[in-house]
């Protein structure tokens, strides 16, 4: 563990027990989040990114179950913490920004009430007038125009960008140490996406928080992240500093992702695609889960590779680097 580590996850496994079989959504994941960094989790839809983020604070619902692992937050294992104590951490020490603000905000309550409620939950001694004033100040911090009026507005009266800012305001209301942003720009147009990402970055710097950003947008990764984790079919296949990942991707899956994205600095007549499809999570291939789609498949690939250090701050799970 690094001295500046805020969160360390060890061998986390989250399975969904269905009538069709067991879905190993997160299967032996280990990583860390350092203080003050923006860590990105990238991968295809269904690779386990969101399930993993919810498992950190035990928010996995049945038929899902956290089978094993440790989630050490400031040295405390959240998976062993009593629910009463964990509630003091959710929304205060660790907060979430979700991708669809329309489903997060209650249409029966005003935007300001959402922030005020979050503050009151963890500061019950505060008077409502104080909390309401704090909500308006936070709205001003997240660059919501005319915050006094917007605080009294209902979600349906706000644009998509404004609703996402309200969700971000709710997330930072108690100055959390870790903000988990689960694809926060998916439902927004390109201009608003850039504004929201810049806002998250500026708030991270202001409060000295850490951010775990879940996304499939490699443009966002290149723009705002410090380190990147690449996931595939419930496993971490590569971890690297953002510049290292883009200049020296090691895992064939990471290489495929980057080759499928337009690069304005290169003249490419046709973008490449990753052959095949994502495996059935109930009936996974033997060994490396990417091996049926891998252009560099070896005989060793029928055995599961471990995530090992290739160079400083660069980890990879691939037999190409273990022979």
Give pLDDT, residue 23. Answer: 96
Averaged pLDDT of the chain: 90
Q: What Cα–Cα distance (Å) separates residue 265 from each residue in 164, 241, 245, 268?
A: 32, 21, 17, 9
**Quick check: 323 pLDDT over 60?**
no
The per-residue pLDDT for range 295-313, each reduced to its tens digit, is 999 888 999 999 999 999 9
**Quick check: 223 pLDDT over 90?**
no
Q: Answer yes or no: are the C-beta atoms of 15 and 23 closer than 8 Å.
A: yes
Helix (H) or strand (E) holding 28: strand 22-34
**Quick check: 60 pLDDT over 70?**
yes
Give Cβ neighbours of residue 144 (< 8 Å, ≥ 6 apart): 150, 162, 165, 166, 169
DSSP per-residue codes, 221-259: HHHH-SEEEEEETTEEEEEEEHHHHHHS--SHHHHHHHH
**Quick check: 97 pLDDT over 50?**
yes
With cut-offs at 50, 70 and 90, classify the pLDDT of residue 268.
low
The per-residue pLDDT for range 107-117, each reduced to its tens digit, is 999 999 999 99
Mean pLDDT of all residues in 177-202: 84
**Quick check: 57 pLDDT over 70?**
yes
State whether residue 188 is helix, strand or coil: coil
Give pLDDT, residue 3. Answer: 52
Mean pLDDT of all residues in 146-172: 92
Bridge partners (DSSP) listed for residue 142 = none
Mean pLDDT of all residues in 252-274: 77
With cut-offs at 50, 70 and 90, classify the pLDDT of residue 1.
very low
Q: Nearest 5 degrees, angle CA 43-CA 200-CA 57?
A: 60
Going across the sheet that includes 94-97, the strands are 94-97, 178-182, 210-215, 38-42, 227-232, 235-241, 314-316, 308-311
- Number of Cβ within 10 Å of residue 308's Cβ equals 11
**Quick check: 167 pLDDT over 70?**
yes
**Quick check: 264 pLDDT over 70?**
no
pTM score: 0.91
Mean pLDDT of all residues in 7-23: 96
Structure-token pair, residue 27: 């299967």
Candidate from 70-74, 148-152, 255-259 with smallest mean pLDDT:
255-259
Candidate from 85-89, 183-187, 288-292 with smallest mean pLDDT:
183-187
Mean pLDDT of all residues in 206-213: 92
Structure-token pair, residue 132: 């309401």
With cut-offs at 50, 70 and 90, classify the pLDDT of residue 243.
very high
Helix (H) or strand (E) holding 116: helix 111-122
């Amino acid at each position: 563990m690094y001295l500046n580590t805020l969160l360390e996850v060890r061998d986390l496994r989250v399975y969904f027990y269905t009538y069709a079989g067991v879905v190993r959504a997160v299967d032996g994941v280990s990583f860390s989040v350092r203080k003050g960094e923006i860590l990105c989790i990238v991968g295809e839809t269904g690779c386990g990114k969101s399930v993993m983020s919810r498992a950190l604070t035990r928010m996995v619902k049945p038929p899902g179950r956290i089978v094993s692992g440790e989630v050490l937050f400031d040295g405390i294992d959240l998976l062993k913490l009593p629910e009463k104590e964990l509630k003091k951490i959710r929304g205060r020490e660790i907060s979430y920004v979700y991708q669809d603000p329309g489903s997060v905000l209650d249409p029966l309550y005003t935007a300001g009430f959402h922030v005020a409620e979050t503050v009151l939950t963890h500061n019950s001694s505060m008077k409502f007038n104080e909390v309401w004033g704090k909500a308006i100040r936070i709205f001003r911090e997240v660059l919501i125009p005319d915050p006094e009026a917007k605080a009294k507005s209902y979600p349906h009266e706000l644009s998509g960008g404004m609703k996402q800012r309200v969700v971000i305001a709710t997330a930072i209301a108690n100055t959390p140490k870790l903000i988990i942003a689960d694809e926060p720009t998916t439902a927004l147009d390109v201009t608003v996406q850039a504004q929201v990402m810049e806002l998250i970055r500026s708030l991270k710097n202001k409060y000295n928080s850490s951010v775990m950003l879940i996304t499939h947008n490699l443009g966002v990764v290149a723009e705002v992240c410090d380190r990147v984790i690449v996931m595939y079919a419930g496993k971490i296949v590569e971890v690297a500093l953002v510049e290292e990942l883009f200049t020296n991707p090691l895992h064939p899956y990471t290489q495929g992702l980057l080759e499928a994205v337009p690069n304005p600095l290169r003249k490419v007549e046709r973008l490449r695609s990753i052959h095949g499809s994502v495996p059935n999570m109930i009936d996974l291939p033997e060994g490396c889960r990417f091996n049926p789609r891998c252009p560099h498949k070896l005989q060793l690939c029928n055995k599961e590779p471990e995530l090992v250090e290739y160079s400083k701050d660069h980890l990879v799970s691939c037999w190409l680097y273990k022979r």
